[in-house]
Amino acid sequence: MVTLAYAIFGLCFLVFFSIANAKYYHSQLKYFNVKDYGAVADDKRDNSQAFLRAWYDGCRWGGRSVIYIPYGTYKLREVSFEGPCNGMMIFVIKGVLKAPTHISLFSTNTWIGFRYIDRLVVKGGGYLDGQGAAAWPYNDCSKNPKCMPLPVTMRFDFVTNSRIHHLRSINSKNSHINLFACDNVNISYVRLTAPDESPNTDGIHIGLSTNIKISRTVIQTGDDCIAMVTGSRNIEISNVTCGPGHGISIGSLGRTPGEVVTGINVRNCTFIGSQNGARIKTWAPSLSSVASDIFFGDIYMENVHNPILIDQQYCPTPSCSDQLGQDNSKVQISNVTFSNIWGTSSSKVAVTLKCSKLVPCKNVQLDNINLKYHGRGGPATSSCFNVIGDSYGRQSPPSCL
């Protein structure tokens, strides 16, 4: 009887403990629905203040906060969600967020911003509609040095240990997603789209950030699908489909001295009809900088204009073309591998390694390349300038190393 009594007591204790623990666990998760703060999904009125009030209360909450945007279409002017916060922040977008069409309604270069936050999650399956078509004609930065950059759809500054997943961004005015000074951020299951003629609509732009992972993502834009500029370190990119767009690019580098990009790993990606595939670009002339330890591997190209490209005479505008030939890039590119890359090129020169005379590329490896020219006039060719490296395995076009 004593044994039975102890057993019953133990069972009751476990049940009580489990219930108490479950109540404690759920008490730490609290929802902050933007509609409770005055947001209206009528596709007309501005909901910025309602969103900011919900964020403010959620940020002060000591447990896990869910900022919840229900289904519907919400007009939203520029907003900046700032920390540090007292607990984990979960930003759930179920509906559609629409940006203003006129750039006069923006005082900064950001539409939706997150700053100084640790343990942030942005998800929900909703849409970010940048309504960029109304603003693209104002993009004159290529010829106007005093231009104001158009706003990025979603910017993350000083964000750490965070995840962005299951979102869709369409028609951004500028880049869709921008990471600056971030660490340990994982982006997955996002789709970023804008017409191929839309200017500067990078999919994901990364700078001064470390330990970034991007996977299972589709990017169709008018500029780089993914761009990694100075300070990008330990970036892993996998299972990304790119096109249209300008490829997955490192750079451009060399505008300021001491720029560094290192530890880039791009695997299992697909490029369809993009201008470039795997690309490294530096200005000419440029200042001393470094791009090193870069791997592009297991990549399929379909009708890509420049499947493999190192361009150390990058010059996208007429303003820099007059300086080409007067000087060369001072960006040292080293330890670069292109491995197991196959498919078709829409240009006859499928592999271009155009490096600097001042600092030739070092330790460039071509390993099992199989690219066919998708056109008339003979097989694909390769072109190399100022490159020190080797080739291994199958080489089609024939290696120029």
Catalytic annotation, residues: 246
Question: Are the beta carbons of 178 and 135 closer than 8 angstroms?
Answer: no
- Residues near 277 by Cβ (< 8 Å), separated by ≥ 6? 242, 247, 248, 271, 299, 301, 304, 306, 307, 308, 309, 341
Q: Is residue 72 classed exposed, middle or buried when 0-12, 13-18 and 19+ CB atoms within 10 A define those classes?
A: middle
* CA-based nearest residue to 316, from 281, 349, 290: 281
Amino acid at site 75: K
* C-alpha neighbours within 13 Å on the C-beta side of residue 375: 13
339-363 burial by CB neighbour count: b if 16+ within 10 A, else e?
bbbbbbbbbbbbbbbbbbebbbbee
Q: Which of 203, 242, 209 is nearest to 226 (CA)?
A: 203
Type of residue found at 239: N
